[in-house]
Amino acid sequence: MSKTITIKKGLNINLVGEAAKTITVVEAEMFAIKPSDFHGVFPKILVNEGDTVKVGTQLFFDKYRENIKFTSPVSGKITELRRGAKRVLLEIKIQSDSTNDFVDFGKSDPNNLNREQIVERLLESGVWPMIRQRPYNVIANPDHNPKSIFISGFDSAPLAPDYNLIVEGQNAAFQTGIDALKKLTDGKIHLNLQQGVSSSTVFTHCKNVEINYFNGLHPAGNVGVQINKLSPINKGDIIWHVRPSEVLTIGKLFLEGRFNAERIIALTGSEVIKPHYVKTKIGAMARNLTQNNVASGKLRYISGNPLSGIKIDREGYLGYYDSQMTILPEGDYSEFFGWALPGFGKYSFSRTFLSWLGSGKKKYRLDTNIHGGHRAFVITGQYEKVFPFDIYPMQLLKAIMAKNIDQMENLGIYEVVEEDFALCEFIDTSKTEMQAIVREGLDFLRKEMN
């Protein structure tokens, strides 16, 4: 029996630059895998600069969990292993030769394989890292049997890609992916769709899943919110989650016998001249994707959405899990008496700027200015308005800052990840870096618990 759940606490931020529903194919030249996309992974590198790799060739594995391997999304040559401070590996850059030579993992029907065989194949092909677990938002442990697996069938973040477009026509791959995932858990696979829009038949006709509907405001599409409403995480629970485009990759591993890293990416943001979708592969270079399609001026390139994406630059690369790239104007200007002006046309969740008198349908072109200085927590009750969990956000943040493990657990840290605090951070009067605090808390807790 499918349920409909309405998220009332939240905020939809209307921004300029939503992607038009057309897809162009881009043959990008440069790709990269960034170990920083995988929380808690310590890379042991297996390739050298100048090596030739195929699609599916192993690049590195996790020092702490050696069976978790990461493979190349394209065929070509390793051009650089870029390192940062303390020789931390930042990027493995690969120049594509466009031949798509691939390592053959063999076609098969997951319904005829047992759990061990499926896990083995996912690990060998480097597809396993697409399965992530809550709590902590890290790559799943193949030895666990999760309570359930969640798939959010829509993204509610500002300018988010339309997953219906991304999966369109790929019924077979999606169903095969689900069939493979079904073997990994004794629990259910939850597929959560948006109420009130006509979802793709890829989702609605899918078997072996329990479909529930969500409507209301962002963060309704965050998988963490959906888990919290349907099957909240208690201490010791493990839940896995996968995004629809990653289900397709899992399905194609079995259908085609190869690591198919194809991604449809939404190019969004006010500074993209023609926002639309592009078909490329995991880890494509921003410059290759946005050629001649960005406005002039100082720009912020974001892999992901404006609230929880990662800052990259024009020469940077798309994140492993992202289906969206956003380009916004930088906000490095100072504004004369900006805090005192009436503020028509400025975006604020509060009603302290007169812009709230205008129409609610206006689309905004927001930049990256912080709009104020960092302060201690002063205003109370504002975060609760955009935070749909039964959790006290400010108190949890304070517990994390104090590194008080008992209190963090008591206040529900296992139920959240950094993206769930993105809206609180957006509306925050005190300009606290909440997502960073939550991430630090999760990393700290994971270290203490293991």
Partner 1 sequence: MKTLRQFLDNNKPKFEKGGKYEKFKSTFDAFETFLFVPDKVTFKGSHIRDVIDMKRTMSVVIIALVPALLFGMWNVGYQYHLSTGEQATFFGNFWFGFIKVLPIIIVSYVSGLAVEFIFAQYRGHEVNEGFLVSGILIPMIVPVTTPLWMVAVATIFAVVIGKEAFGGTGMNIFNPALLTRAFLFFAYPAQMSGDKVWVYGLDSGAKTVDGFSGATPLGNAGLELFDKIPPMMDMFIGTIPGSVGETSKIAILIGAAILLITGIGSWRIMLSTILGAVGITLLFNVVAANRYMEIDPLTHLMMGGFLFGAVFMATDPVTAAQTNRGKWIYGILIGVMAILIRVLNPAYPEGMMLAILLMNTFAPLIDHYVIQANIAKRLKRSKLIVNN
**429 is a contact residue toward partner 1 (CB under 8 A):** yes
Whose CA is closest to 383, among 339, 350, 334, 336?
350
Residue count at the site for partner 1 (CB under 8 A)? 76
Give yes or no for a contact between 259 and 125, defined as CB atoms under 8 angstroms apart: yes
The 8-class DSSP code of residue 313 comes to: -
CA-based R_g, the chain, Å: 22
Which is nearer to partner 1, 52 or 352 (by Cβ)?
352
> Could you tell me the CA-to-CA distances from 70 to 136, 272, 283, 373 in Å, in that order?
20, 31, 13, 40
Give yes or no for a contact between 248 and 163, defined as CB atoms under 8 angstroms apart: no
Separation CA 234–CA 148 (nearest Å): 13
Separation CA 449–CA 118 (nearest Å): 29
Separation CA 279–CA 261 (nearest Å): 11
Which is nearer to partner 1, 274 or 375 (by Cβ)?
375
Question: Which residue in 33, 130, 422, 442 binds partner 1 (CB under 8 A)?
Answer: 422
Question: Which residue in 256, 287, 430, 444 binds partner 1 (CB under 8 A)?
Answer: 430
Which of the stretches 80-88, 199-207, 288-296, 344-352 binds partner 1 when contact is defined by CB under 8 A?
344-352
Q: In sequence order, what are the residues at sequence separation of 6 or more whose Cβ sits closer than 8 angstroms to the Cβ of residue 390?
A: 228, 412
Minimum gap (Å) between residue 383 Cβ and partner 1: 10
Question: Which residue in 277, 300, 316, 325 binds partner 1 (CB under 8 A)?
Answer: 300
Q: What is 395-436 written as a DSSP string?
A: HHHHHHHTT-HHHHHHTTGGG--GGGGHHHHHH-SS---HHH
| Residue for token pair 């050629």 | 291
**342 is a contact residue toward partner 1 (CB under 8 A):** no
Angle between helices 171-182 and 244-256 (to 10 degrees): 90
Question: Which residue in 53, 220, 366, 416 binds partner 1 (CB under 8 A)?
Answer: 366
**232 is a contact residue toward partner 1 (CB under 8 A):** yes
Minimum gap (Å) between residue 300 Cβ and partner 1: 6
Query: Beta-carbon neighbour count of residue 60 at 10 Å?
Result: 22
**332 is a contact residue toward partner 1 (CB under 8 A):** yes
**77 is a contact residue toward partner 1 (CB under 8 A):** no
Question: Which residue in 44, 82, 314, 374 binds partner 1 (CB under 8 A)?
Answer: 374
Question: Which residue in 132, 326, 420, 441 binds partner 1 (CB under 8 A)?
Answer: 326
Minimum gap (Å) between residue 293 Cβ and partner 1: 19
Minimum gap (Å) between residue 83 Cβ and partner 1: 21
Amino acid at 142: P
**Which residues is 6 bridged to in the sheet?**
215
Which is nearer to partner 1, 129 or 309 (by Cβ)?
309
Residues 165-184 that bind partner 1 (CB under 8 A): none
One symbol per residue from 431 to 450: x for binding partner 1 (CB under 8 A), - otherwise; what is it?
Answer: x-xxxx--------------
Which of the stretches 48-56, 188-196, 197-205, 392-400 binds partner 1 when contact is defined by CB under 8 A?
392-400
**350 is a contact residue toward partner 1 (CB under 8 A):** yes
Minimum gap (Å) between residue 369 Cβ and partner 1: 6
| Residue for token pair 């297996």 | 46
Question: Which residue in 368, 405, 443, 446 binds partner 1 (CB under 8 A)?
Answer: 368
Separation CA 436–CA 442 (nearest Å): 10
Name the burial class of residue 291, with classes exposed (0-12), middle (13-18) and buried (19+) by CB atoms within 10 angstroms of its CB.
exposed
**85 is a contact residue toward partner 1 (CB under 8 A):** no
Separation CA 324–CA 381 (nearest Å): 32
Which of the stretches 206-214, 239-247, 287-295, 425-433 binds partner 1 when contact is defined by CB under 8 A?
425-433
The 8-class DSSP code of residue 273 comes to: S
Which of the stretches 32-40, 86-94, 135-143, 418-426 binds partner 1 when contact is defined by CB under 8 A?
418-426
Which is nearer to partner 1, 296 or 380 (by Cβ)?
380
Which is nearer to partner 1, 371 or 446 (by Cβ)?
371
